[in-house]
Amino acid sequence: LAACSGGKSDKGGADRPITLGFSQVGAESEWRTANTRSIKAAAKAAGIRLKFSDAQQKQENQIKALRSFIAQRVDVIAFSPVVESGWETVLREAKAAGIPVIVTDRAVDVTDDSLYTTLIGSDFVEEGRRAARWLIDDMKDRKGPINIVELQGTVGSAPAIDRQKGFHEVIDADPRFKVIRSQSGDFTRAKGKEVMEAFLKAEGKNIDVLYAHNDDMAIGAIQAIEEAGLQPGKDITVVSIDGVKGAFQAMMAGKLNATVECNPLIGPQLMDIVKKVHAGQTVPKRIIVNESVFDRSQAAAAFPSRQY
Ligand code: GZL
């Protein structure tokens, strides 16, 4: 009877479901909503009790959520940090409470990496390199100068910092290319359209390429390009990152030229790691999500099997 008694069983006891507190960035893009869907479905399938919080892209809301999870004494905390910095204090509070923390999707910048158990996410620098490599190959027969405008992701976020870094690492080696404007569109369609309108007003027909750090900003920018009387995908080559359904539809319509896949469907992998961490097993410090690149020639064939 003792085994079935109520109350807290020993850590990792098979009879009590694990409680996971998850703090999500927000619901700013198709990628993010697919990521949330994957996490919620995987928690349910794994029998893990999920306490889920949407921070509406505000760091103070994420810190409040993490503190609430600590107060509720959840078994494990996981979160996707909206920006890289400012996490040291709250992560120390989680460590003091003996609650392991798993970082997902975006990285944190902390002096002591014992403050989190592992980071599960994509290699954003490589995604930036892939976008640049695709562009150089696509324009191999084109003479310079080739002018690029860049829509950056959320200022201070790991994907924005690293996708810009990886892109420049490759594109700067080819003297034909020049980034003439670069500004944040905060990963949203609305802001991406607004900033692209400003780029077009300032540079007009001088723009040859748009590099967007995510498909949602690219899709917003495509509307701005059309409203300016230009043809996206032809007058302005558009390359972006994520590989969401909207990007495949834009490629099939000839308005987007290529998207670098960034896989949001990490739910099952996350729940597997949560169980291992809760059971006290060691897990790798860095778990990379595998992904590839799609351009217009592959869009129609790949679209039916896309899961996000
Ligand atoms: C990338 C993720 C980014 C996506 C955007 O892993 O953090 O945030 O590229 C999303 O679509 O807003």
Answer for the pair 163, 151: CB distance below 8 angstroms, yes or no.
Answer: no
Say yes or no: CB of residue 128 within 6 Å of ligand 1: no
Answer for the pair 177, 171: CB distance below 8 angstroms, yes or no.
Answer: yes
Distance 119 CA to ligand 1 centre (A): 15
- This prediction's pTM: 0.93
SS3 for 272-301, per residue? HHHHHHHCCCCCCCEEECCCCEEEHHHHHH
At residue 288, what are phi and psi to the nearest 5 degrees?
Answer: -90, 135
Please choose from 36, 187, 265 the residue to mutate so as to test ligand 1's pocket, defined by most ligand atoms within 8 A of CB: 187
d(CA 196, CA 214): 14
Say yes or no: CB of residue 246 within 6 Å of ligand 1: no
Say yes or no: CB of residue 122 within 6 Å of ligand 1: yes
- Ligand 1, atom nearest to 121 Cα: 6
Answer for the pair 149, 118: CB distance below 8 angstroms, yes or no.
Answer: no
d(CA 23, CA 9): 26
Say yes or no: CB of residue 57 within 6 Å of ligand 1: no
Cβ neighbours of residue 270 closer than 8 Å, sequence gap 6 or more? 39, 42, 78, 102, 104, 120
Measured CA to CA in angstroms, residue 121 lies from 30, 118, 218, 276, 293 at distances of 17, 10, 22, 17, 17
Please choose from 28, 30, 32 the residue to mutate so as to test ligand 1's pocket, defined by most ligand atoms within 8 A of CB: 32
d(CA 26, CA 18): 24
Answer for the pair 213, 158: CB distance below 8 angstroms, yes or no.
Answer: no
pLDDT tens sequence for the chain (308 residues): 333 343 444 444 557 899 999 999 999 999 999 999 999 999 999 999 999 999 999 999 999 999 999 999 999 999 999 999 999 999 999 999 999 999 999 999 999 999 999 999 999 999 999 999 999 999 999 999 999 999 999 999 999 999 999 999 999 999 999 999 999 999 999 999 999 999 999 997 899 999 999 999 999 999 999 999 999 999 999 999 999 999 999 999 999 999 999 999 999 999 999 999 999 999 999 999 878 899 999 999 999 999 99
Distance 281 CA to ligand 1 centre (A): 29
Question: Looking at the predicted complex, does its ipTM rise above 0.95?
Answer: yes
Beta bridge partners of 50: 20
Answer for the pair 232, 127: CB distance below 8 angstroms, yes or no.
Answer: no
Take atom 6 of ligand 1 and give the residue whose Cα is closest.
Answer: 105
